Structure 1
Amino acid sequence: MVRDVAYPDVQKKKDVVLIDVRSEGEYEESHIPGAVNIPLFTNEERAQVGTVYKQISPEQAKELGLRLASAKLPELVKAVQEASAGKQPVVYCWRGGMRSKSVATVLDLMGIPALRLEGGYRAYRETVKQRLADFQLKAKCVVIHGMTGVGKTQLLQRLAADGEPVLDLEGMAGHKGSAFGSIGEQPRNQRMFDSLLLQRLEELQDSSYLIMEAESKRIGRVNMPDFLVEAKHHGLHILLEAPLHIRVQRTLDQYVVDDPEFQEKVKGALRSIEKKLPPADRRFAWEALEQKRYAELAELLLVKYYDPRYQYTMSQYVGDFISLDATDLDACKQAIKRTIREKLGLAAVTT
């Protein structure tokens, strides 16, 4: 007999694996972090069933769903077994309805003791929203500032690799946080961002500090929660500095400039900001882009567009900044660690 289980109880279990039986499109849009997608219907089949449900009747929609699903059940059971690898599968769909019930029932008949997530993804989403609304951030925020290209993202990645408690908001958002920030990325929606953010915050809830970049409230398509914005303003502020030529190269290093579609994507982004450039700079930018002189274009945009805006943003902060040289990223990484431990009164860094 299939048993339902609430998401908070799933979190307490160590021997389970979440199985998302929604379509590939639903999964890609947002899912529970760590869940494996084994769809009962393809995107097209789901659309078919939905059309019949709305235009004809729920009964005929169920019959169509049964016909579509029955032929693929053996392969689906095999896929669940492989994904579970000895763990107990917890099956979910959008609202804990027919799709997850059907799959969980078949698994149970095959001797696989599956659970079904109560309320499905929708109930999980409500849990995430409530937990973020009630979240009490106890850790001190260490906020990394610096003009575009100084190496903030690279340093966060290196700090995370060393086991430091890094909150990579741009990584969660799938966006670099600028007019060109979606190039080479897969921007996420608010639901997926919230899920990844809550997961990371709960992982780091015992840490005395969190390291994050000085992001604006909006990052690409998503918004940072107010409690994190507030904590950022009252954090320990570290300002990174590096020569312009290094910033230009690090900016370009974030993109695959030899991608056949890169130039067209840059054109779209440049159109969105070109009116904020003086006419002469605008002409130079388009000429550099057409001739693929990307280093010259990057330098112009840093000096004439991004730097003035960053300087204005910096002026909105109240408090002191600790300046560090980011010319050498490894040396800067160690300096950040030392600064955190000295300012927060922690044990000296040993690596």
Structure 2
Amino acid sequence: MKELSVDEFIKKNDAVAVDVRSPIEFAEGSIPKARNIPLFTNGEREEIGTIYKKEGPAAAKWRAMEVVAPKIPALLSEIRKVKESGKEPVLYCWRGGSRSQSMAAFAALSGLEVPRIVGGYRAYRERILEKIPQMLHGKAIVLHGMTGVGKTQILDKLKEKGYPILDLEKFANHRGSVFGSFGQGDAHNQKTFDALLFEELSQIGTSDYFIMEAESKRIGRATQPDALLTAKEEGIHISVDASMEKRTRRIYEEYILPYKDQPWFKDKVWESIHKIEKKIKNKESLQSLYHAIEAENYEKVINVLFVDYYDPRYSHKENSYEGEFFYVNADSIADAAAEIEKIIENAGFAAPATLNS
């Protein structure tokens, strides 16, 4: 039975991780782009766990055999599909124990040679947490700016051009504010955030810089590692600005327009406002905000939140950084990206064509 260490698996370009744990375990945290081909459903796993506690390991193993045996042809067929796609399936479970061993044994009996990861998902997670601080060796180029100035759009534009980007909001599946989950689905947990951060750092490789947004330590359900926070503090800081009209339009198009006709939308707005209303000290503004929500005048809602909530908070955050700031206007995303490219070049860093050559 072929076994791979976590490092050996990470280095393989043609590998597809096959997670044989139950769907609930897979959802809690998995290797990015892994396929879930579970031996047990969530209910079956719970049942076998109960038998283990009440009757012991022998009874649990027997029940596991009864559950899995009828599924073996279907399970192996799914693994064969991965192999036939030109990729190498690599099995793992929680600790590299009986589930991945059993699947590898079934595969070998059918003529499929399928390796497994030693130590399973737990070893993978321990290893990436160990490696992430070592991979943050480059200089952080940090985009600051108030809500709606277009920081994420600038990151996207620079990524299109090949620049090394860490999109932390994407890793967290959350935009980092009380409205950050609108239209996003569930925010990623810490395990998923860390795995996606590691994967992107692996793609960046030996670049001596990376570009990121100045996010708070906590983004949705995830927390940035201390090494990344330190890199942010010690980075090159760029303050991005845009007109109130542009900012309002961008927020409206991102947060409001796609969802405003959904039955959940207005209730979600109220729910979010109730979380922050005590922090809006101007009572007249708060009443204006309430009336705007009732009237579904969401441009007005955005403007009140800018003036009385977001902008004062962002100004305070930006003032907490020491050192020089560069200033870029982002009424045009393309022009802002070009200005940032010049700042990067003047700082002595290579352009993407050089990085990739």
The bucket for the TM-score relative to the shorter chain is over 0.9
Deviation at 1:58, TM superposition (A): 2.5
In structure 1, the residue matched to 2:320 is: 316
Q: What is the 5 A alignment of 1:179-258? A: 179-185=178-184, 186-255=186-255, 256-258=258-260
284-293 vs 103-112, which moves further: 284-293
Distance 1:24 1:227, change over 3 A: same
Q: How far is 1:202 from its partner? A: 2.5
Q: Distance in 1 between matches of 2:123 and 2:51?
A: 26
Deviation at 1:315, TM superposition (A): 0.8
Quote the offset at 1:168 in angstroms. Answer: 0.5
Supply the distance in 2 between the matched residues of 1:346 and 1:237 (Cα, whole angstroms). Answer: 18
Q: Specify the alignment match of 1:25 in structure 2.
A: 24
In 1, distance between residues paired with 2:334 and 2:313? 28
Match for 1:187: what amino acid? A
Q: Which has the higher mean CA deviation after the structures are superposed, 40-49 or 320-329? A: 40-49
Shift of 1:142: 0.8
Could you say if the C-alpha distance between residues 17 and 257 of structure 1 is closer, same or farther in structure 2, counting changes exceeding 3 Å?
A: closer
Structure 1 unaligned blocks of 5 or more: none
Query: Hey, what does 1:103 align to over in structure 2?
Result: 103
Q: For the Cα contact (< 8 Å) 2:238–2:328, is it kept in 1?
A: yes
Q: Is the 8 A contact 1:338 1:349 kept in 2?
A: no
Residue 297 of structure 1: CA displacement? 0.8
Q: TM-score, normalised by structure 1?
A: 0.93
Q: Which amino acid aligns with 1:146?
A: G
Structure 2: where are the runs of 5+ without partners? Answer: none
* Number of the residue aligned with 2:139: 140
Structure 1 residues 172-193: Cα deviation after superposition (integer angstroms, max 9, x where no partner):
0111111111222231111111
Structure 2 CA distance for partners of 1:346 and 1:9, relative to 1, 3 Å: closer
SS state at 1:211 partner? strand
Q: Distance in 1 between matches of 2:89 and 2:141?
A: 39
Which residue identity does 2:142 align to in structure 1?
A: V
Alpha-carbon separation, structure 2, partners of 1:55 and 1:250 = 58
Conserved in 2, the CA contact under 8 Å of 1:342 and 1:348?
A: no
Per-residue deviation, 1:16: 2.7
Quote the residue 1:269 is aligned against. 272
Q: What is the rounded CA distance, in whole Å, between the counterparts of 1:348 and 1:121 in structure 2? A: 34
Please give the TM-score of this superposition, normalised by the length of structure 2: 0.92
In the alignment of these two chains, the number of paired residues is 348
Structure 1 residues 264 and 48, CA gap change in structure 2 (3 angstroms):
farther
**C-alpha contact (below 8 Å) 1:38/1:76 kept by paired residues:** yes
Q: Is the 8 A contact 1:246 1:327 kept in 2?
A: yes
Q: Partner of 1:344: helix, strand, or coil?
A: coil
Identify the residue that residue 46 of structure 2 maps to in structure 1: 47
In the alignment, the residues of structure 2 paired with residue 349 and residue 69 of structure 1 have an alpha-carbon distance, to the nearest angstrom, of: 52
Structure 1 residue 8 and structure 2 residue 7: aligned?
yes
Identical pairs, percent: 42
CA distance in 2, matches of 1:3, 1:89: 12
Conserved? CA contact 1:36–1:83, under 8 Å: no
Residue type of the alignment partner of 1:268: E
Match of 1:90 in 2: 90
Does residue 127 of structure 2 align to residue 124 of structure 1?
no
1:282 to 279, 286, 290: 286
* Alignment CA distance shift 1:15-1:181 (3 Å): closer
CA distance in 2: counterparts of 1:92 and 1:43, whole angstroms: 17
Amino acid at match of 1:297: V
SS of 1:272's equivalent in the other structure is helix
Determine if contact 1:142/1:209 at 8 Å carries over to the other structure: yes
Cα contact 2:208–2:349 (8 A) shared by 1: no
CA gap 1:249/1:96 in 2 versus in 1, 3 angstroms: same
Q: 1:260 aligned to 2:260? A: no
What displacement does 1:112 show?
A: 0.6
